[in-house]
Amino acid sequence: MWRFALVRTGQLLVTLFLASVAVFLVIEHAPGDPAQVQLGLSATPAEIAVERRKLGLDASVMHRYVVWLGQALHLDLGRSFATGLPVTRTIVTAFGYTLRLDVLAIVLGIALGLPLGIAAALRRGSRLDAGISAFAALGLSVPVFAMGTLLILVFAVHFKVMPAAGAGVPGQSVLSSLRYLVLPAATLAIPFAAVLARYLRVELGEAMEQPYVLTARSLGLRRRTVVVNAWRNAMIPTITVMGIQVGRLLAGAIITETVFSYPGIGYLTVQSIQSLDYPVVEGVLLLGAAVFLLVMFVVDVVIGFASPRMRIEGA
């Protein structure tokens, strides 16, 4: 198992390195000259040349990549063209918002998906099961942006019980900042819950049909104990899928945050791309890859430790 973890760590580092090269090259080939962007359209060619040297743009690509990577490793990603603030600080602030949103979304998603999935699995073929399956199918068929817009329409515009956009003002109470989180978190949580319910239904349903369930019942164990034992089997494949879903929350956040003008990483990404704010774009793309890969890595390792067979016999 430790060997497996070590190999996976190696893979993670290699992919991260390649991802950094990819990010660098994308920015390198993106239209627009950073020096030009810095100085504005009125700059003369001479001024631009000076600026290019100042920004280190006259060095070779290899050289610039190494310098850039070295700085990135020291968490120095330069300053935003748009605001002049250090990119790292901008990203950390935005990431804090996104983290809050994602955590709430995961909590809501589990709180909704877990009971629905278990209920459907234990009553397979019933009307309840059919209803839950229909909900899950619909939850997955409505695109995130549509879900968000519909929630705004119902709860912000029609009933006026929730704010439609933003994250409120700094220094507000926890409760009022929570109000801003509810709708975007629900937008992310619904498809999350739908996937969770679907998988749990299939996996737990299958686990409940395994011979060991019959054995457990023949030994007189309580239904609750029997279900919990089966659930532990069902959770291993379910964790894998949910890990991928957590990774996808990041993608979902881009759209959700745009729908709700919520100042997280996703919103920052779209904004920085639209305004060609390259240092910020580099930062968010790097962070995006790092977080996504890290989540996948954690899922793999968690699965390794959750499955006794893998833990003992190795991958």
> Residues 129 to 158: which contact another protein by CB under 8 A?
137-138, 140-146, 149-150, 152-153, 157
State the virtual CA torsion across 24, 87, 248, 300 in degrees, nearest 10: 70
CA–chain centroid gap for 252, Å, is: 7
Q: Which of residues 40-79 bind another protein (CB under 8 A)?
A: none
> For another protein, which residue of 1, 59, 273, 302 counts as binding (CB under 8 A)?
273
Where does 158-277 have alpha helices with state H? 174-207, 211-218, 223-259, 265-274
Among 1, 4, 5, 19, binds another protein (CB under 8 A): 19
Ramachandran quadrant class, 172 (left: phi over 0; alpha: psi -120 to 50; beta: rest): beta
- Point out which span in 38-46, 76-84, 91-99, 302-310 binds another protein (CB under 8 A): 302-310
Give the shortest CB-251-to-another protein separation in angstroms: 3
**111, 161, 215, 305: residue in contact with another protein (rule CB under 8 A):** 215
Burial class (CB in 10 A: 0-12, 13-18, 19+), 250: buried
- Does position 13 bind another protein by CB under 8 A? no
Under the binding rule (CB under 8 A), the answer on residue 216 touching another protein is: yes
Cα dihedral sign, 184-186-191-195: positive
**Cβ distance to another protein smaller for residue 3 or 309:** 309
Among 132, 259, 299, 303, binds another protein (CB under 8 A): 259
Task: Record the tokens describing residue 295, joined without a space.
Answer: 């989540």
Looking at 233, 242, 264, 300, which residue binds another protein (CB under 8 A)? 233
Which one, 103 or 251, has the nearer CB to another protein? 251
Neighbours of 138 (CB within 10 A): 11
Q: What is the closest distance, in whole angstroms, from the C-beta atom of residue 37 to another protein in the complex?
A: 13
